[in-house]
Amino acid sequence: MSVVGVDFGTLKTVIAVARNRGVDVVTNEVSNRATPSMVGFGPKSRYLGEAAKTQEISNLKNTVGSLKRLIGRTFADPDIQTEQQYITAPLVDVNGQVGAEINYLGNKEKFSATQLVAMYLSKIRQTAASELKLPVSDICMTVPPWFTDVQRRGLIDAAEIAGLKLLRLINDNTAAALGWGITKLDLPGPEEKPRRVAFVDIGHSSYTCSIIEFRKGELSVKSTAWDRNFGGRDFDKALVDHLAKEFKGKYKVDITTHGRAMARTIASAEKVKKVLSANQQSPVNIESLMNDIDATSMITRQEFEAMIEPLLARAHVPLEQALAQAKLTKDDIDIIEVVGGGSRIPALKERIQEFFGKPLSFTLNADEALARGSAFSCAILSPVFRVRDFSVQDIISYPIEFAWEKAPDIPDEDTSLTVFNKGNVMPSTKILTFYRKQPFDLEARYTQPEDLPGKTNPWIGRFSVKSVKADGKEDFMICKLKARVNIHGVLNVETGYYVEDQEVEEEVKDEEGDKKDPDAMETDKKDDGSKKTRKVKKQVRKGDLPIASGTASLDDSAKATLIEKESAMVMEDKLVADTEEKKNELEAYIYDLRAKLDEQYSEFASDEEKTSIKAKLEVTEDWLYDEGDDTTKGVYVAKIDEIRAMAGPIVQRHFEKVDAERRAVQERAEA
Ligand code: ATP
Ligand code: MG
């Protein structure tokens, strides 16, 4: 079993694996160290990752990128309108979640964001497994700190549908920080001032800053701030808007109404942007953009910086917010580590540096640091791996409250309570106490809906506490509920139980002699003059209270259905791939045998044999380019077998001759 970290990005995904020597990045089937976060659909199969990117421009309507931006969102959310600007397939509602409508196997189909992400992650699992030559199940995966409960649950469901077991969803910067800290041997001791590092990640779509404190063997996140809509794609868009205007004037074409022209301009803008990170100017060349026009232009870095000024002017905001939340000043920050592909823009680096008033640090690999950190996290959590222990303490991103109905017989009871505050440590467990005579319900929700992305519903879940009843004396049952924001940042009411107040006798330790518990009833009974005991009122656990949870997670039967659908599609893809392989094998066999008949097999075949086999090869070849172009795997295998049967005797004679020669050489050597 392998130990894998996945940085699931908006644009691309990086896979890393923890091995005994350290952490390595896994390359994909075309030897790339990152895989496009994209899926596509065709008449015969799906295209996942690299294959989706390859066919993107010719199949825009059936290609879905920016998968991560869709998970856990509703179609009606205004954020989804923004996403539609970057996604070429039409977005639609799929049972209350956003999804895409595409053509697959000749039919119109709708897939939810959870399904689309599951397809992609299933490809990531295959990529990792085929590279590592080991099954892959346990992974840790990155998540933006601003992801809400429903988004996180969506990712967990998708991973499960893809056959993966998520050991941890780790916040982006926390992953970078873990990778940074775990290798450092000079971190301050427990009593010393911690080392304070600001991690800044600027990706394709979002920008986050976290202030993190390090001591030997541990890191703790102090604050995290973000701009959800600030990343490489926004810089690309500034260029695209500029080019669209220029092409309209220069060539009298409107690329904004033309999907393919638009997609090619976006691709070209991304290239220009990258060139401008290293050079003062960059040419733009888009061959036959539309209406047979070869569009060309030239953009200088200065022009580009003017175009992106509105973005640059916002760059300080997350930094300022992170400092304020951590109640720190710029001077308290020892190091500023910058990651994410978007951070390579020189003007942006300048703004960040200006803000902190000190040089930035680039000791982490901007593209791979998050995947590496996730692999470390997986190694720490996985039972199959031993790694130096490093404690990771994160924080809760949005305050969470519980609400309930007033108990009829408790007049002054509140009906809601904020249980987890923003900035509380995560994971975290809180025990809630209720006095009830009947089963009751609790609802969990985000306290401040205005902080959530777009129009996210603040509702998190409903928890029904069963088996509550009054005891013999018509007294309240004291109900205890364990609410936990777990290692993924997901809230659950994990267990319920009830307790009884009981007086128990407890030994009083000498050193505690004068620290009196106000609830304790001291008896001061001295046995043999040495041991002191006292009677203490204690709550003793008497039994369990079952809890029925309704959350945004898929229920088991819905999940089972999606797992079944996904494996059917995996089989379909595999069959298409196998068929293609057999077709290629037949084609290669025809060429190979034809050549050999004139060469090494020549002396072992009669003229009739040669003629009849060559005729067969020719017929089969013609068939391959005609009706045999698209048929089933079985038919290709049958054709290969037919030819093999005809060539069999010749191959045998050739083999016998070669074998006899080999033996002769051997005998001579031994003589
Ligand atoms: P996110 O973290 O927002 O989900 P992601 O993880 O996929 O997205 P990254 O891989 O960190 O994003 O960064 C990708 C972005 O970085 C792209 O917009 C890409 O164009 C940009 N980028 C990469 N190299 C450069 C460069 N040399 N100059 C400017 N931008 C670059
Ligand atoms: Mg990223």
Ligand 1 atom at shortest distance from the alpha carbon of 202:
11
Q: What's the pLDDT at 529?
A: 55
User: Residue-wise over 358-392: b if at least 16 C-beta within 10 A, else e?
Assistant: eebeeebbbbbbbbbbbbbbbbbbbeebebeebeb
Cα(473) to ligand 2 centroid in Å equals 59
What's the whole-model pTM score? Answer: 0.90
Cα(393) to ligand 2 centroid in Å equals 21
Q: What is the mean pLDDT of residues 260-267?
A: 96
Q: What's the pLDDT at 507?
A: 82
Q: What is the mean pLDDT of residues 43-51?
A: 96
- Encode 434-446 in three state secondary structure: EEECCCEEEEEEE
Q: What ipTM was assigned to the predicted interfaces of this complex?
A: 0.99
Ligand nearest to the CA of 233: 1
Average pLDDT, the chain: 94
Q: What's the pLDDT at 493?
A: 98
Q: What's the pLDDT at 353?
A: 98
User: Residue-wise over 426-437: b if at least 16 C-beta within 10 A, else e?
Assistant: bbbeeebebebb
Confidence of residue 411 (pLDDT cuts 50, 70, 90): confident
pLDDT greater at residue 78 or residue 513: 78
Q: What's the pLDDT at 530?
A: 60
Residue 524 has pLDDT above 60, yes or no: no
Confidence of residue 515 (pLDDT cuts 50, 70, 90): very low
Q: What's the pLDDT at 520?
A: 43
CA distance 399 to 148: 11
Peptide bond into 427 cis (omega under 30): yes
CA distances from 443 to 422, 550, 620 (A): 18, 9, 68
CA distances from 377 to 13, 25, 142, 386, 409 (A): 17, 15, 10, 12, 49
Cα(652) to ligand 1 centroid in Å equals 58
Residue 503 has pLDDT above 80, yes or no: yes
Mapping DSSP to helix (H, G, I), strand (E, B) and coil, where does residue 667 land? helix
CA distance 536 to 506: 7
Q: What's the pLDDT at 580?
A: 93
CA distance 40 to 52: 5
* Portion of the chain with pLDDT greater than 90, in percent: 88
CA distance 128 to 7: 13
pLDDT in tens, 416-462: 999 999 999 999 999 999 999 999 999 999 999 999 999 999 999 99
The number of residues making up the chain comes to: 671
Residue 623 has pLDDT above 90, yes or no: yes
pLDDT in tens, 114-135: 999 999 999 999 999 999 999 9
CA distance 64 to 129: 24
pLDDT in tens, 285-320: 999 999 899 999 999 999 999 999 999 999 999 999
Ligand 1 pocket, residues with Cβ under 6 angstroms: 9-12, 68, 203-206, 231-233, 270, 273-274, 277, 340-342, 344-345, 367
Q: What's the pLDDT at 510?
A: 58
Q: What's the pLDDT at 502?
A: 87
Residue with the smallest CA separation from ligand 1 atom 2 is 203
Confidence of residue 522 (pLDDT cuts 50, 70, 90): very low
Ligand 1 atom at shortest distance from the alpha carbon of 273:
29
All residues with CB under 5 Å from ion ligand 2 = 9, 203
Q: What's the pLDDT at 309?
A: 98
Confidence of residue 528 (pLDDT cuts 50, 70, 90): low
Determine which helix (DSSP H) or strand (DSSP E) holds 391, and give its type and residue range: strand 391-395
Q: What's the pLDDT at 293?
A: 94
Mutate to test the pocket of ligand 1, among 86, 204, 208 (most ligand atoms within 8 A of CB): 204
Q: What's the pLDDT at 514?
A: 46
Q: What is the mean pLDDT of residues 549-565?
A: 97
Ligand 1 atom at shortest distance from the alpha carbon of 232:
18
Residue 219 has pLDDT above 60, yes or no: yes
Q: What's the pLDDT at 93?
A: 98
Ligand 1 atom at shortest distance from the alpha carbon of 37:
7
Q: What's the pLDDT at 535?
A: 86
Ligand 1 atom at shortest distance from the alpha carbon of 12:
7
Cα(398) to ligand 1 centroid in Å equals 27
Ligand nearest to the CA of 203: 1
